[in-house]
Chains A and B, each alone.
Chain A
Amino acid sequence: MVSTQKKADKTYKVIGTRPVRPDGLDKVTGRAKYGADIQLPGMLFGRVLRSPHAHAIIKKIDTSKALALPGVKSVITHKDLPTAADIALDLGETTSNMKWLCDKVLAAEKALFHGHAIAAVAAVDPHIAEDALALIDVEYEILEPVLSVHTAMDKKTPNIHPNMKTVDMIARFQAGEPSKVQINNVASILDLELGDLDAGFKEADIIIEREFETGTYHQGYIESHNGTAQWNENDEVTVWLSTQGHFNARDVLSKLLQVPMSKVKVIPMEIGGGFGGKIPMYMEPLAAIMSKQTGKPVKMHMQRDEVLLATGPTSATYIKVKVGAKNDGTIVAADAYLAYESGAYPGSPVGAGAASMFLPYNIANLRAHCLDVIVNKPHTAAYRAPGTPAAAFAIESIIDELAEKLEIDPITIRMHNAAEEGTRTSDGRLAPASLAVKELLEEAQATEHWNAELSDPSIGRGIAIGAWGNAGLESNAYASINSDGTINLNTGSVDIGGQRASLAMQLAETLGVDYDSIKPQVSDTDSIGYTAVTGGSRTTFASGIAVVEVGNKLKEQIIDRVATFWEIDASQVHYGDDGTLNGPEDKSIKFSGIGKILSRTGGTIQASATVKPNTQVATFGCHIVDVKVDEETGKVDILRSTALQDVGKAIHPAYVEGQIQGGILQGIGMALYEEYYYDDKGILKNASLLDYRMPTSYDVPFTETTLIEKPNPGHPFGVKGVGEVPIVPPLAAVANAIYNAVGVRPNILPVNPRRLSVLLKEKNKK
Chain B
Amino acid sequence: MQDVSYYRPSSIKEAIKILSEHGPTAKVLAGGTDVIVQARERTKKITAFVDIKKIPDVMGLGIEGHRGLTIGAATPMYQIYNHSGVQEEYPAIIDSANIIGGKAIQGRASLGGNLCNGSPAADTIPTLIVLEGTANIIGPNGERKIAIEDFCTGPGKTLLQHDEILISLHFKRPAPFSGSRFIRFIPRNEMDIAVVNVASQIQMDGNKIESSRVAIGACAPTPLLLKEISNFIQGKELSQDLLENAAELFNNLITPIEDMRGSPEHRVDLAKTLFKRTMNDAVIRSNGEKVQ
Listed in ascending order, the chain A residues whose CB lies under 8 Å from chain B are 127, 130, 632-635, 637, 672-673, 677, 685-686, 690-691, 693, 695-696, 698-699, 752-754, 757-758
Find A127's partner among B1, B261, B266, B269 (CB 8 Å cutoff). B1
What 3 A-B pairs come out closest when comparing CB atoms?
Answer: A698-B189, A677-B260, A632-B273
Find B190's partner among A673, A696, A752, A757 (CB 8 Å cutoff). A696
Contact B185 A698 (CB under 8 A): no
Contact A754 B263 (CB under 8 A): yes
Contact B190 A686 (CB under 8 A): no
Q: How far is the CA of A752 from the CA of B266 in the complex (A)?
A: 11
Task: Look across to chain B and name the residue whose beta carbon is closest to the beta carbon of A672.
Answer: B187
Residues of A within 8 A of B193 (CB): 690-691
Find A693's partner among B192, B259, B263, B273 (CB 8 Å cutoff). B192
Most buried by B among A633, A690, A693, A752: A633
B66 within 8 A of A: no
Listed in ascending order, the chain B residues whose CB lies under 8 Å from chain A are 1, 3, 185, 187-193, 195, 259-263, 265-266, 269-270, 273
Instruction: State the Cβ distance, A11 to closest chain B Cβ, in Å.
Output: 45
Contact B188 A696 (CB under 8 A): yes
Task: Look across to chain B and name the residue whose beta carbon is closest to the beta carbon of A635.
Answer: B187
Task: Look across to chain A and name the residue whose beta carbon is closest to the beta carbon of B259.
Answer: A685
Residues of B within 8 A of A758 (CB): 265-266
Q: How far is the CA of A758 from the CA of B263 in the complex (A)?
A: 10
Task: Look across to chain B and name the residue whose beta carbon is closest to the beta carbon of A677.
Answer: B260
Q: How far is the CA of A130 from the CA of B39 in the complex (A)?
A: 13
Contact A695 B266 (CB under 8 A): no
Contact A693 B269 (CB under 8 A): no
Q: Is the interface of B mostly helix, strand, loop or mixed?
A: loop
Q: How far is the CA of A696 from the CA of B260 in the complex (A)?
A: 19
Find B188's partner among A673, A677, A757 (CB 8 Å cutoff). A673
* Given the contacts A633-B185, A685-B259, A753-B266, A696 and B191 also touching, CB distance less than 8 Å: yes
Find B266's partner among A130, A698, A699, A754 (CB 8 Å cutoff). A754
Residues of B within 8 A of A633 (CB): 185, 269-270, 273
Q: Is the interface of A mostly helix, strand, loop or mixed?
A: loop
Contact B188 A699 (CB under 8 A): yes
Other 11 A-B pairs with CB < 8 A, given A672-B187, A691-B260: A632-B273, A633-B273, A635-B185, A635-B187, A637-B189, A673-B188, A690-B192, A691-B193, A696-B190, A752-B187, A757-B269
Q: How far is the CA of A757 from the CA of B259 in the complex (A)?
A: 16
Residues of B within 8 A of A754 (CB): 262-263, 266
Instruction: State the Cβ distance, B204 to closest chain A Cβ, in Å.
Output: 24
Residues of B within 8 A of A130 (CB): 1
Instruction: State the Cβ distance, B3 to closest chain A Cβ, in Å.
Output: 8
Q: How far is the CA of A521 from the CA of B260 in the complex (A)?
A: 45
Q: How far is the CA of A380 from the CA of B259 in the complex (A)?
A: 25
Q: How far is the CA of A673 from the CA of B186 in the complex (A)?
A: 11
Residues of A within 8 A of B269 (CB): 632-633, 757
* Given the contacts A633-B270, A754-B262, A757-B269, A698 and B190 also touching, CB distance less than 8 Å: yes
Residues of A within 8 A of B266 (CB): 634, 753-754, 757-758
Residues of A within 8 A of B261 (CB): 691
Total A-B residue pairs with C-beta atoms closer than 8 Å? 51
Contact B190 A685 (CB under 8 A): no
* Given the contacts A691-B193, A757-B266, A685 and B188 also touching, CB distance less than 8 Å: no
Contact A695 B260 (CB under 8 A): no
* Given the contacts A633-B273, A690-B193, A691-B193, A698 and B188 also touching, CB distance less than 8 Å: yes
Residues of A within 8 A of B187 (CB): 635, 672-673, 693, 752-753
Residues of A within 8 A of B270 (CB): 633
Residues of B within 8 A of A757 (CB): 266, 269
Residues of B within 8 A of A698 (CB): 188-190
Instruction: State the Cβ distance, A123 to closest chain B Cβ, in Å.
Output: 14
Most buried by A among B188, B190, B191, B261: B188
Residues of A within 8 A of B3 (CB): 127
Residues of B within 8 A of A677 (CB): 260
Most buried by B among A130, A754, A758: A754
Instruction: State the Cβ distance, B200 to closest chain A Cβ, in Å.
Output: 16
* Given the contacts A632-B273, A633-B270, A696 and B189 also touching, CB distance less than 8 Å: yes
Q: How far is the CA of A127 from the CA of B39 in the complex (A)?
A: 12
Instruction: State the Cβ distance, B171 to closest chain A Cβ, in Å.
Output: 29
* Given the contacts A632-B273, A634-B266, A685-B259, A693 and B188 also touching, CB distance less than 8 Å: yes
Task: Look across to chain A and name the residue whose beta carbon is closest to the beta carbon of B185.
Answer: A633
Task: Look across to chain A and name the residue whose beta carbon is closest to the beta carbon of B3.
Answer: A127
Instruction: State the Cβ distance, B266 to closest chain A Cβ, in Å.
Output: 5
Ordered by A's residue number, 9 sampled pairs between the chains whose C-beta atoms are within 8 Å are A632-B273, A633-B270, A635-B185, A677-B260, A696-B190, A698-B189, A699-B188, A753-B266, A754-B263
Task: Look across to chain B and name the residue whose beta carbon is closest to the beta carbon of A686.
Answer: B260
Instruction: State the Cβ distance, A309 to closest chain B Cβ, in Å.
Output: 13
Residues of A within 8 A of B263 (CB): 754
Task: Look across to chain A and name the residue whose beta carbon is closest to the beta carbon of B274.
Answer: A633
Q: How far is the CA of A632 from the CA of B196 in the complex (A)?
A: 14
Q: How far is the CA of A673 from the CA of B261 in the complex (A)?
A: 11
Task: Look across to chain B and name the residue whose beta carbon is closest to the beta carbon of A636.
Answer: B187
Residues of B within 8 A of A632 (CB): 269, 273
Find A695's partner among B185, B188, B265 (CB 8 Å cutoff). B188
Residues of B within 8 A of A695 (CB): 188
Residues of A within 8 A of B188 (CB): 673, 693, 695-696, 698-699
Residues of B within 8 A of A634 (CB): 266
Contact B191 A690 (CB under 8 A): yes
Q: How far is the CA of A693 from the CA of B190 in the complex (A)?
A: 10
Most buried by A among B1, B191, B193, B265: B191
Q: How far is the CA of A634 from the CA of B262 in the complex (A)?
A: 12
Q: How far is the CA of A672 from the CA of B186 in the complex (A)?
A: 13
Q: How far is the CA of A753 from the CA of B262 in the complex (A)?
A: 9
Q: How far is the CA of A7 from the CA of B265 in the complex (A)?
A: 53
Residues of B within 8 A of A691 (CB): 193, 260-261
Residues of B within 8 A of A696 (CB): 188-191
* Given the contacts A753-B266, A757-B266, A757-B269, A699 and B189 also touching, CB distance less than 8 Å: yes
Instruction: State the Cβ distance, B281 to closest chain A Cβ, in Å.
Output: 15
Task: Look across to chain A and name the residue whose beta carbon is closest to the beta carbon of B191.
Answer: A696
Residues of A within 8 A of B185 (CB): 633, 635, 753
Instruction: State the Cβ distance, A172 to closest chain B Cβ, in Å.
Output: 34
* Given the contacts A754-B266, A757-B269, A685 and B191 also touching, CB distance less than 8 Å: no
Residues of A within 8 A of B195 (CB): 753
Instruction: State the Cβ distance, B64 to closest chain A Cβ, in Å.
Output: 37
Residues of B within 8 A of A690 (CB): 191-193
Task: Look across to chain A and name the residue whose beta carbon is closest to the beta carbon of B269.
Answer: A757
Task: Look across to chain B and name the residue whose beta carbon is closest to the beta carbon of A693.
Answer: B188
Most buried by A among B3, B187, B195, B263: B187
Q: How far is the CA of A691 from the CA of B191 in the complex (A)?
A: 9
Instruction: State the Cβ distance, A275 to closest chain B Cβ, in Å.
Output: 20
Q: How far is the CA of A624 from the CA of B273 in the complex (A)?
A: 31
Residues of B within 8 A of A753 (CB): 185, 187, 195, 266
Most buried by A among B259, B262, B265, B269: B269
Instruction: State the Cβ distance, B257 to closest chain A Cβ, in Å.
Output: 12
Find B260's partner among A673, A685, A699 (CB 8 Å cutoff). A685
Residues of A within 8 A of B260 (CB): 677, 685-686, 691
Residues of B within 8 A of A672 (CB): 187
Instruction: State the Cβ distance, B110 to closest chain A Cβ, in Å.
Output: 19
Instruction: State the Cβ distance, A699 to closest chain B Cβ, in Å.
Output: 5
Instruction: State the Cβ distance, A435 to closest chain B Cβ, in Å.
Output: 37
Task: Look across to chain A and name the residue whose beta carbon is closest to the beta carbon of B272.
Answer: A632
Q: How far is the CA of A690 from the CA of B37 in the complex (A)?
A: 12
Instruction: State the Cβ distance, B61 to closest chain A Cβ, in Å.
Output: 28
Instruction: State the Cβ distance, B62 to closest chain A Cβ, in Å.
Output: 32
Q: How far is the CA of A699 from the CA of B186 in the complex (A)?
A: 12
Residues of B within 8 A of A752 (CB): 187
Residues of A within 8 A of B273 (CB): 632-633
